[in-house]
Amino acid sequence: MGLTEEQELELGQYRAAVERDCPSDIIQFSANYFNCKLEEQRKLFKSQINKNNTPPSITSATRSSQVETGDRSHLLFKSPFSEHDPHTTNVIHKEDPSAKDPFKQDFSFDQRETKIEASNSPLDLANKNEESLKHKKIPMNFNALRRTSVSGETFEPNNLETDWKPEHYSEKTGEQLKRLEKSIGKNFLFNKLDKDSKKLVINSLEEKRVTKGTEIIKQGDEGDYFYVVEQGTVDFFVNDSKVSTSGPGSSFGELALMYNSPRAATVLAETDCVLWMLDRLTFRKILLGNSFKKRLMYDDFLKSVPILSTLTTYDRAKIADALETELYDAGSIIIKEGDVGENFYFIEYGSADVIKEGVGIVANLKQHDYFGEVALLNDLPRQATVKATSTTKVATLGKSAFQRLLGPVVEVLKLNDPTRPHHNQ
């Protein structure tokens, strides 16, 4: 007996996920993948029942329309081209980076679900976040070839429910709160937190004053704390070369805590500094699943994009922070020849044709390919139209993020520029 259309679709999606992520442990990957699928199906049922009091029939068509448009109408994205391009008006959904891709979307589903179901106490939220991290989108190679956790903390959901209390929790004074609001208010990581989580984080922060010249973090050490700068400036050194400086409102020290990896840089106080430290466990429980969600979700994907393969974890993390997701139906226009170029794109999944006026199709793009760089690199109008040929999810970078973050690969992008004579493709 042949497979039904839906079974074919499911298997195709599964196959695409395996090909995309090239998991080192296929059994574990598959277990996670199908758990996510089940979870997704359950949630769809629940949300449908909550809405209509009628369970939906589970077909792919129902599922994708629910996932992509159902509850997210407020997130519908207006195409930058829609004013003058009738083809694009109904096609783009700007949404969580996780949307649509069945394996990766679980993060956002869980977060939303958590808010509905949990009591909303800070601890519940922390635990739920960690739970979703634990069995959902931790990249399969999350800890591969890296040193293991310093504290060896376990994240068993049941332990968390009852056992975990933030180690350094202490209610801040009014004066401290005012200062924190000022410094933390500037840090985008904290703006992603709901009120309870923010309060929990604030009361878990420890004040640390250091004098000019103090080594706050040493490259190669194990990670213990995440830092936010309230006053002063700090310098970053990689292999003894200074790579950057940052000041009030900025944060550092997240990489080692995220990836259980050695510190990637040395951090020195360039002036006397007032810092706030967050312990690793609270960081992982609260910030990781909220503020660094995109990094975790895009980690594997960005690693598998050939053009980015030479970047460091830090460089890729910065790109992930800046990415936005757009979803296009088959046949819709992603960029239009002659328009002003605003964004650069990676294809997360799907396919697209590159079409030049008067010439026809000049290239076919697939998963992991990029486009939209020519206009940005050369300050030109769009040199071709890019049209989705199947449902296509793209991750996009705005022009300034493109210029700021893709510096290290600009030469390669230029070399590959398809509009240059003799480009190597």
Ligand X SMILES: Nc1ncnc2c1ncn2[C@@H]1O[C@@H]2COP(=O)(O)O[C@H]2[C@H]1O
The annotation places the binding site at 254, 263, 373, 382
Q: State how far the Cα of 223 lies from the Cα of 208, in Å rounded to an integer.
A: 16
The least CB distance from residue 267 to ligand X, in Å, is: 5
The least CB distance from residue 405 to ligand X, in Å, is: 12
| Residue 264 makes contact with ligand X by CB under 6 A | yes
Task: Specify whether the CB–CB gap between 290 and 192 falls below 8 A.
Answer: yes
Among 180, 267, 347, 384, binds ligand X (CB under 6 A): 267
Among 36, 180, 184, 265, binds ligand X (CB under 6 A): 265
Q: Which 8-state DSSP code applies to residue 407?
A: G
| Residue 283 makes contact with ligand X by CB under 6 A | no
Find the angle CA(263)-CA(268)-CA(273) to the nearest 5 degrees.
Answer: 120
The least CB distance from residue 291 to ligand X, in Å, is: 13
188, with CB counted inside 10 A (0-12, 13-18, 19+), is: exposed
DSSP string, 131-145: HHHHHSSS-TTTTTT
DSSP E strand boundaries for 212-299: 215-217, 225-231, 234-238, 241-246, 251-252, 266-269, 273-279
Binding-site residues for 3',5'-cyclic AMP: 254, 263, 373, 382
Among residues 255 and 397, whose Cβ is nearest to ligand X? 255
Per-residue interface string for the shown chain with ligand X, residues 192-221, x marking contact by CB under 6 A: -------------------------x----
The least CB distance from residue 256 to ligand X, in Å, is: 3
Among 223, 289, 341, 372, binds ligand X (CB under 6 A): 223
The least CB distance from residue 355 to ligand X, in Å, is: 39
Among residues 196 and 235, whose Cβ is nearest to ligand X? 235
Q: Which 8-state DSSP code applies to residue 2?
A: P
Stretch 293-352 residues interacting with ligand X (CB under 6 A): 312, 314
Among residues 44 and 229, whose Cβ is nearest to ligand X? 229
Task: Specify whether the CB–CB gap between 259 and 149 falls below 8 A.
Answer: no
Stretch 31-90 residues interacting with ligand X (CB under 6 A): none
| Residue 131 makes contact with ligand X by CB under 6 A | no
The least CB distance from residue 11 to ligand X, in Å, is: 40
DSSP string, 298-346: HHHHHHT-GGGTTS-HHHHHHHHHH-EEEEE-TT-EEE-TTSBP-EEEE
Stretch 376-405 residues interacting with ligand X (CB under 6 A): none
Per-residue interface string for the shown chain with ligand X, residues 233-262, x marking contact by CB under 6 A: ---x-x----xx-------xxxxx------
Quick one: tokens of 38?
Answer: 């089940």
Q: State how far the Cα of 341 lies from the Cα of 81, in Å rounded to an integer.
A: 11
Q: H-helix or E-strand containing 415?
A: helix 410-415
Handedness of CA 338, 341, 344, 348 (dihedral sign): negative
Task: Specify whether the CB–CB gap between 343 and 397 falls below 8 A.
Answer: yes
Among residues 70 and 249, whose Cβ is nearest to ligand X? 249
- The site for ligand X (CB under 6 A) is made up of 217, 223, 236, 238, 243-244, 252-256, 263-265, 267, 312, 314
